[in-house]
Amino acid sequence: MKKLLSVLLSAVLLASVFVLTSCQSESEDETPTATITAQTTSTPAATPTAAPTPTEEPTPTKEPVDYSGGLVSNEPMTVALYPENILEIGLQAMCGTGQSIALQFYATVPFNGIGFHSPTWTATEGFSLDYEIYAWNNNYYDTIWNDPILSITPDPWVDGQCAQVVFEPGEELPAGEYLLVAYYQSYENAKNSGVYYVEQAFPGTRAYLNDEVWDNVCIVTTLFYNTTPVNPYGPLSDPGLE
Residue 189: pLDDT band (50, 70, 90) is: confident
| Closest listed residue to residue 175, CA positions, set 241, 79, 60 | 79
Which alpha helices (H) appear in the chain, and where do they start and end? 2-29, 86-89, 140-144
Residue 83: pLDDT band (50, 70, 90) is: very high
Share the mean pLDDT of the chain. Answer: 81
Please determine, for residue 135, whether its predicted confidence score (pLDDT) is greater than 90.
Answer: yes
Q: Would you call 150 exposed, middle or buried from its count of C-beta atoms within 10 A (0-12, 13-18, 19+)? A: middle
Which alpha helices (H) appear in 86-135, and where do they start and end? 86-89
What does the pLDDT look like over 103-118, one tens digit per residue? 999 999 999 999 999 9
CB 66 within 8 A of CB 227: no
Please determine, for residue 18, whether its predicted confidence score (pLDDT) is greater than 90.
Answer: no
What does the pLDDT look like over 170-187, one tens digit per residue? 789 999 999 999 999 888
What's residue 62's pLDDT? 59
Pairing between β-strand 176-186 and β-strand 77-80 as defined by DSSP bridges: unpaired
Higher per-residue confidence, 46 vs 227: 227
Is the pTM value of this prediction over 0.95? no
In CATH terms, 78-229 corresponds, of 3.40.50, 2.40.128, 1.10.287, 2.60.120, to 2.60.120
